[in-house]
Structure 1
Amino acid sequence: MTRGKIRSTKHHNVLPGFGLTMGYTTLYLSILVLLPLSMIFFYTARMGWTEFADTVLDPRVVASYKLSFGASLAAALINVAFGVLLAWVLVRYRFPGKKIIDGLVDLPFALPTAVAGIALTTVYAPNGWIGSLLGFKVAFTPIGVVIALIFIGLPFVVRMVQPVLQNLEKEVEEASSSLGASRLQTFRKVIFPELLPAALAGFTLAFARSLGEYGSVVFIAGNMPFKTEITPLIILTKLEQFDYSGATAIATVMLVTSFLLLLVINLIQWWTNRKFIHR
């Protein structure tokens, strides 16, 4: 038997305490996330299948699904396009008032959603500053819902893309140009692969935020059944009527559908990252 100390193969972290911090993290998630979500399924399970189907497939509820998911998707796509453009301008150019505009990007984060809804309704109403200049109606239509969701979702895209652009060296673009690449080729081969993961992450956050938005939408929507009534409003209405089972049934559909959509988006983001890393 050889002499000497047997070296332990166990890895020691510089800052110990994984077990304690993991326990607090699990407890925190269980109390604030998992437990409330499980209660939604608990109340829904008390309904029979017939009652559940009648509640979630009611024509008025289905119309609200289409508006909520459709408007959220449209707003998220618009935010990706304009959010990337705004982030590019804020990072690559210097102009008077740049810091003010950069600060205004975060305004939807700090502004109460009810205040945002009232402000948008005042501006886009038929007698508002912008609404009176347009040749079509914006407030109290699905277009108004999309505008409200664009307002609250834009910062997510800008703040996700902005750090990537700040870390993207201009010398890389200049090298691409010196090698004979056109502007379109430089963007497609150099810039776009770097921006895509951040843009997808911003799209995911904006889409998820829009699905659950209530305060900024309820004022400008007008809340007309089958036209401008969003799903969160129907859930709130059922809660006010003490129909907890109906509210949780609709919430369950929203929760499961949102989870599946976000899972698909995350899989696309993972596939995109893997594709560009192994190129």
Structure 2
Amino acid sequence: MARRILPGLPLTLGITLVYVAIIVVLPLGALVFKAASLGPEDYWRIISSERAVASYRITILCALAATLFNLVFGLSLAWIIVRYRFPGRRLIDALVDLPFALPTAVAGIALTTLFASNGWFGGPLGAIGIKVAYTPLGIIIAMAFTSLPFIVRTVQPVLEELDPALEEAGQTLGASDLEIFLRVILPQLAPSLLAGLSLSFARSLGEFGAIIFIAGNQPFDTEITALLAFIRLEEYDYPASAAIASVMLIAAFTMLAVTNLLQARALRYTVKG
């Protein structure tokens, strides 16, 4: 029998399952168990309260806006990093990962300082009537900042591996740059782009530290769902906190299921193409 450096399947699988059970399944199970301790009427009363519904609306709409921004800006940034060579390119490429390394609370304080009424960016924007800090716009900026790397890092490797011969063939056939992008490049990017979008949206839904400093945390205006769940936790109302958190958990699972379905369809379309 050939000697293997890595352990065999049973040991590897066992370690993986134990890790997943402790890190993922156990906390989620505790959350579901605590939420299930409420009766159906109490559960519905908590998750459908006016304040909770307002927090869902603020969180989801801001996460969608941040994800759409990252779709355009992240794809453009990945394209520039891969396709062009210019001074400072490596620095920009390294800065993309800054939100991963920077504590989210530090990011929130920094963004608040920059976009406050007396900040470097907040002052000029306030002069033209645009207020960022303590508004939904501030929430969107914080979400976009922390979730941008997911778009760039999922699209960038695919862009690097694209066969230039396909684009050259399109040019030879007389296709415009826009047609080549839409019909040749975008279908090949679709699976990775969908993965990046889902990760970006999920990160935005669950973001907490970077938002609470810049949001203002006003109920019905700038209060996100994660903060409302935290408030209930500080009030020692654990079932209510778990019930509110379970709504976002269901939303995240639904989003991932839909994204996986869209990815599979996009991959089949790319293979057939």
TM-score by length of 1: 0.92
Deviation at 1:169, TM superposition (A): 3.0
Deviation at 1:13, TM superposition (A): 11
* Structure 1 stretch displaced more, 185-194 or 150-159: 185-194
Secondary structure of the residue aligned to 2:124 is coil
Partner of 1:6 in structure 2?
A: none
Q: What are structure 1's unaligned runs of at least 5 residues?
A: 1-11
1:205-244 Cα offsets, whole Å, 9 max, x none, are 1111111100000001000000000111111111111111
1:84-118 Cα offsets, whole Å, 9 max, x none, are 10011011111111111111111111011011001
| 2:262 aligned to which of 255, 261, 268 | 268
1:35-73 Cα offsets, whole Å, 9 max, x none, are 111111111111112211111111111100111111111
Partner of 1:71 in structure 2?
A: 62
Structure with greater proportional helix content: 2
CA contact (8 A) 2:198 2:255 kept: no
1:219-276 Cα offsets, whole Å, 9 max, x none, are 0100000000011111111111111111011111111121112211221111111122
Q: Does 1:93 align with 2:87?
A: no
Partner of 1:8 in structure 2?
A: none
Q: Which amino acid aligns with 1:196?
A: A
Partner of 1:36 in structure 2?
A: 27
Q: Does 1:252 align with 2:246?
A: yes
1:18-44 Cα offsets, whole Å, 9 max, x none, are 122111111111111111111111111
Deviation at 1:148, TM superposition (A): 0.5
Runs of 4+ aligned residues of structure 1 deviating over 3 Å after TM superposition are: 12-16
1:139-158 Cα offsets, whole Å, 9 max, x none, are 11111100100101111101
* Structure 1 stretch displaced more, 19-28 or 156-165: 19-28
Q: Which amino acid aligns with 1:60?
A: R
Deviation at 1:16, TM superposition (A): 6.6
How is 1:163-202 mapped onto 2 (pairs within 5 angstroms)? 163-202=157-196
Q: Which amino acid aligns with 1:264?
A: V
Partner of 1:229 in structure 2?
A: 223
Alignment length (residue pairs): 268
Larger radius of gyration between Structure 1 and Structure 2: 1
Partner of 2:149 in structure 1?
A: 155
| 1:83 aligned to which of 74, 78, 81 | 74
Q: What are structure 2's unaligned runs of at least 5 residues?
A: none
CA contact (8 A) 2:167 2:180 kept: yes
Secondary structure of the residue aligned to 2:80 is helix
Percent identity between matched residues is 52
